Amino acid sequence: MGNLGLFFIGKKISMPFRSDCTKKRMANFFEVILEPFDLKGKNASHQPEIVSAKTKKGDHMYYSAILNMKGKKTVVVGGGKVAERKIKALLDACADITVVSPDLSDHLLRMHQEKKISWKQKTFEKDDVNGAFLVIAATNEREVNEQVYQSCEAHQLINVVDAPEKSNIIMPATFKRGDLIISVSTSGKVPGLARKLKNSLAEQFDEHFADYVEFLKEGRKRVLEEINDPEQKRMVLHQLLDKSFLEASNEERHKQLEMLLNANRSSE
């Protein structure tokens, strides 16, 4: 997939969770998320509350977005462990990556040998960022990172790993379950906490979710194609989000989907 979760200046909403969530609790948690969409009217007037916290003067608020990075020219300055972490996520997003560094870690060197990344074996120069969509300054030298920052044009996305206040984009702690992407950020202030929260959420939303999301994608397509009545479409799509589908096997899900489609086709 060619997507990378990123945070821009703006606002975001946080959501509490239970770290000891079992599969049953995970389903209940999922049910709470869907509660505002109750079609029976029970919660029809309920709207999720959005709380906007005021920040101190000079603080950034961030806007969450997911970028399609497929084929986008990306320059990473630095060849150590921090650069490794950034590059791994960028590779997953199918970015076109060039690393600028005199040396590479063993892992990055293997990536270069496998032709997954390009490598300019040199110290950074201003022209290295020319034409880049995204630039990441990931060295362990503040002076070099500052030079990278100063070299970028206003239209380029720049992430300075040791100076989030200079970045116009920051990378949240992210994990994927198929097409489901969940990201956590502390606006660059406490990255360790973001990673801890991400790891806890990853335990709740386990690999079972990848199959479920794939089923929902296929199911939605069939519902839209095979049911004509708009209200029935809406009802069936909502039923697919019921926790019983989440907890069912993939085979059982598809059986139930066929039953729903047949019942609603015949009633048209």
pLDDT in tens, 51-81: 444 455 556 678 888 999 999 999 999 999 9
CA pair distance 98, 73, nearest whole angstrom: 8
**Which residue would you say has higher pLDDT here, 205 or 7?**
205
Instruction: Classify 56 as helix, strand or coil.
Output: coil
CA pair distance 204, 91, nearest whole angstrom: 25
> ∠ CA 186-192-193 to the nearest 5 degrees?
55
Q: What is the mean pLDDT of the chain?
A: 84
Using the predicted structure, report yes or no on whether residue 32 has a pLDDT greater than 90.
no
- Phi, psi dihedral angles at 28 (to 5 degrees): -65, -40
Q: Which amino acid is at 147?
A: Q
CA pair distance 72, 95, nearest whole angstrom: 5
Quick one: pLDDT at residue 20?
A: 44
Could you report the per-residue pLDDT of 152-192, keeping only the tens digit for each? 999 999 999 999 899 999 999 999 999 999 999 998 889 89
Q: Full-prediction pTM beyond 0.75? A: no
Residue 65 near residue 7 (C-beta atoms within 8 A): yes
Question: Where would I find the H helices in 4-55?
Answer: 23-34
